[in-house]
Amino acid sequence: MTERPSTASSSHPFTQSSPSLRPNTSSGPGISVTSSSPTGSRTTPPPEPRRSSVASSASSPRPKAKDSSSTICRNITIYGYCRFQDKGCAFNHDPHSQKQQSGAGRGKFNVDSPSFTPATPPKKTISPGAADAAPFTPKQNHSTGLQHGFENMGLGENVYSPTRSRRRANKMKTTANAAMNAYDFTVGAPVNPYAQTGVDMFYQPQQTYQHPLNYHLYAPLAPYPQKLQPFQKNIHGFFLSDNLREELQKKADATLQTLPAVSSILPPSIEEYHQLVPLDTSNQKSAQVFGYPSWAYKAFSSEDGNAYALRRLEGFRLLNEADIRIVQRWRKVLSANIVTIHDAWTTTKFGDSSIVFAYDYHPLSKTLAETHFGPNPRYPNPTRQHQPTGPIVPEQVLWSYIVQVASALKVIHSAGLAARVIEPSKILLTSKMRIRLNCCGIFDVIHPETTRSQESVRECQQEDLTQLGRLMLSIACNTPSAVQYPQKSMEYIGRHYSIQLRDSIYYLYTGSTKNIDEYVKSIANQAFQNLDSALHYEDSLESALSRELENGRLVRLLCKFGFINERPEYDHDPRWSETGDRYYLKLFRDYVFHSVDENNNPVVDMAHVLSCLNKLDAGVDEKIMLVSRDSMNCFVVTYKELKRQVESCFQDLSKSRR
Ligand SMILES: Nc1ncnc2c1ncn2[C@@H]1O[C@H](COP(=O)(O)OP(=O)(O)OP(=O)(O)O)[C@@H](O)[C@H]1O
């Protein structure tokens, strides 16, 4: 049975230290701290006289400028190694000799001074362990960017202590400072937290990289929200924005939605697709666009588990099997403004002869008709005169639509095809200002004659441009009937929008624009504006992504903790989770989650939790002091050691599965 590790008894009621407590910078005598290594051995580093670099340098003989063999190589000092050591570098590569040098003392700086060495802060006291230390590497700043962020806004300033009184808390501060002074000596290579997960192949150490990569950073990426007052900042500023999170969650919810009630009406599966959910917002049959009633369903593919949108044309009979092969050409037409098609087949599973097309599914998308004309846009009152109603659609939105459809048409026409569905009900708005042409390829299957000659394809391409003009006319006037009164509609557009927009729509509508290349040139200035907005949006998404960077790792870490902490029994040992390495993990859990402040109030500070977990995840060399619940024992351990313990305990548990 594994025994609880021996602990260091202390005459002081040691308490947990705050992660924000930094080593004491005041000069003073060397410190003595009682601590315990995680292996259970009790160590009491003897007090060491504090060495002042100033004092020692005063008495040192000045090295001769030309005596390079006695001067420590600058590369050793800064990077810990020198690539030219065996290639003729004349400087000294033995870091230990530096100690002797500095021990001998140096004169004040002047042009003859040897190579620059980053000053060792006078506060440092070298611990006994330093004798075995690897070559000195400049110490990383192990505080996370996140922590800095929180500290800046005053969120991370709590004193974490399980102590029950202010006196204890003060004592803790002093003790912790002393402990940190004694142990705050960082050596060795940067820790790669991905090393055990197989991800490290992407993070091979780069010999030419001059600064050791710190793997647990949360540095905010631009664009930043405009400067906020401290009281306006809150913790949400460090995570995905609520709007974006909610949008993504709603989309996930819509994707996973199933309707058991429709299983009696719809076939349980067609080809590889199952769990059909109707997407149509009304069950009115309309053959307006394709000449056949069309229905849209969401379904899951049993081949890859993804959701797809199925488009069914009711009552369609395929006369020539070869006609459906055009879908293979459409599959290769990839554009950010086209809903990608995947497959097409005929079926009788709906009780009739239907043809079904499988497209990408874009959850919660709306058609432009639904967005701008409201529900049932296909049935405008025929007696109603053309009267644009509703708010004026911003010109920027109209240009964005034009540029996006033009971009899709450019790709389609370059592939020798024509879209043929530039209809408000067949263009999807998949997120803010983001549109995609839907149902591409359907006309080529149901009217294949138009694809057989280049001439007819060119005519269809020309028709695409005219359709774009009609589309913009109706959206700018906010009504589908605008195309029935082109003159009045153009007057309306002339009154409310710029001349460039009016002319652009006019040339499209009247067929004066000869081809897509010519048209794209005429709207180049708008295309650049659109590109700029898209890049800004990309920046903001990347910034949001960076905030979520390590969340996956932290969840995995918490899961491992969940497996280990408070486990009632393992390997016939009811005290398993309380003994051995697990004891430190228990105390660490207390330190992270169960701290109380000096008034005995629970410290519920996400900054503290995230900072601790990030450091544990990265396995940094920073020390923390863990205190037993009775405050009688304390341990000074590094996050690196804790990380190793988490891994080994988790391995123990996973072993039993094998
Ligand atoms: N690929 C898709 N991904 C997600 N939703 C889609 C997809 N295709 C269509 N939809 C949704 O399905 C609904 C119905 O689409 P549909 O194209 O049938 O529009 P409609 O107005 O009913 O036109 P029609 O009269 O031609 O059927 C719309 O709300 C649309 O957003």
- Residues with Cβ within 8 Å of residue 313, at least 6 apart in sequence: 290, 292, 293, 294, 354, 355, 356, 442, 446
Answer yes or no: is the C-beta of 251 below 6 A from any ligand 1 atom. Answer: no
Task: Determine the pLDDT at residue 376.
Answer: 60
Mean of per-residue pLDDT scores for the chain: 74
Q: Cα–Cα distance between 371 and 401 in angstroms, integer?
A: 13
Answer yes or no: is the C-beta of 429 below 6 A from any ligand 1 atom. Answer: no
Task: Determine the pLDDT at residue 238.
Answer: 63
With H, G, I as helix, E, B as strand and everything else as coil, classify residue 443: helix
508 within domain boundaries: yes
Say yes or no to pLDDT of 476 above 60.
yes
Q: Relative to the CA of 359, which ligand 1 atom is closest?
A: 1
The fraction of the chain above a pLDDT of 70, given in percent, is 65
Which residue, by CA, sits nearest to atom 23 of ligand 1?
A: 425
Say yes or no to pLDDT of 634 above 70.
yes
Q: Cα–Cα distance between 313 and 347 in angstroms, integer?
A: 10
Specify whether the CB–CB gap between 103 and 86 falls below 8 A: no
Classify residue 122 by burial, with Cβ atoms within 10 Å: 0-12, 13-18, 19+. middle
Q: Relative to the CA of 363, which ligand 1 atom is closest?
A: 4
Name the nearest CA neighbour of 451 among 319, 345, 289, 322.
Answer: 322
Task: Determine the pLDDT at residue 90.
Answer: 81
Binding residues: 311, 360-367, 425-426
647 within domain boundaries: no
> How far is ligand 1, taken at its centre, from the CA of residue 524, in Å?
31
Task: Determine the pLDDT at residue 547.
Answer: 75
Task: Determine the pLDDT at residue 233.
Answer: 62
Task: Determine the pLDDT at residue 546.
Answer: 79
Q: Cα–Cα distance between 173 and 20 in angstroms, integer?
A: 10
Residue 213: CB atoms within 10 A of its CB come to 13
Answer yes or no: is the C-beta of 312 below 6 A from any ligand 1 atom. Answer: no
Strands 366-367 and 307-313: unpaired
Q: Last residue of a domain, which of 106, 122, 138?
A: 122
Q: Which of 36-45, 115-124, 325-334 has the lowest mean pLDDT?
A: 36-45
Q: Cα–Cα distance between 220 and 612 in angstroms, integer?
A: 19
Q: Cα–Cα distance between 366 and 81 in angstroms, integer?
A: 60
Say yes or no to pLDDT of 128 above 70.
no
**Residues of the domain holding 82:** 51-122
Q: Last residue of a domain, which of 517, 546, 575?
A: 546
Residue 147: CB atoms within 10 A of its CB come to 22
Task: Determine the pLDDT at residue 27.
Answer: 33
Q: Cα–Cα distance between 164 and 160 in angstroms, integer?
A: 11
Binding residues for ATP: 311, 360-367, 425-426
> How far is ligand 1, taken at its centre, from the CA of residue 571, in Å?
57
Q: Last residue of a domain, which of 546, 569, 589?
A: 546
Average pLDDT over residues 567-584: 81
167 within domain boundaries: no
Q: Per the structure, how many domains does the chain have?
A: 2
What sections of 188-274 are H helices per DSSP? Answer: 242-256
Q: Cα–Cα distance between 364 and 299 in angstroms, integer?
A: 14
Task: Determine the pLDDT at residue 256.
Answer: 94
pLDDT tens digits for range 258-290: 888 777 789 999 999 999 999 987 778 888 899
Q: Cα–Cα distance between 598 and 600 in angstroms, integer?
A: 5
35 within domain boundaries: no
CATH of the domain at 530: 1.10.510.10
Answer yes or no: is the C-beta of 430 below 6 A from any ligand 1 atom. Answer: no
Could you tell me which residue, 624 or 202, shows the higher pLDDT? 624
- Per the listing, tokens 């694809």 go with 451
Tokens of 275: 């769990």
Say yes or no to pLDDT of 624 above 90.
yes
Q: Cα–Cα distance between 20 and 160 in angstroms, integer?
A: 9
651 within domain boundaries: no
Cis amide prior to 29 (ω within 30 degrees): no
Answer yes or no: is the C-beta of 280 below 6 A from any ligand 1 atom. Answer: yes
| 430 pLDDT tier (thresholds 50, 70, 90) | very high
Half-sphere exposure of 466 (CA within 13 A, CB side): 12
195-204 contact pairs (CB < 8 A, 24+) = 196/647
* Model-level ipTM above the cut of 0.95: yes
59 within domain boundaries: yes
Q: Relative to the CA of 365, which ligand 1 atom is closest?
A: 31
Could you tell me which residue, 296 or 237, shows the higher pLDDT? 296
Say yes or no to pLDDT of 463 above 60.
yes
The fraction of the chain above a pLDDT of 90, given in percent, is 41
Average pLDDT over residues 455-475: 96
pLDDT tens digits for range 547-567: 777 677 788 889 998 988 888
Q: Relative to the CA of 293, which ligand 1 atom is closest?
A: 27
Select, from the ranges 80-89, 113-122, 454-463, the one with the highest average predicted confidence (pLDDT).
454-463
Which residue, by CA, sits nearest to atom 31 of ligand 1?
A: 366
473 within domain boundaries: yes
Tokens of 321: 């099997």
Q: Which of 151-160, 162-171, 264-273, 354-363 has the lowest mean pLDDT?
A: 151-160
103 within domain boundaries: yes
With H, G, I as helix, E, B as strand and everything else as coil, classify residue 472: helix
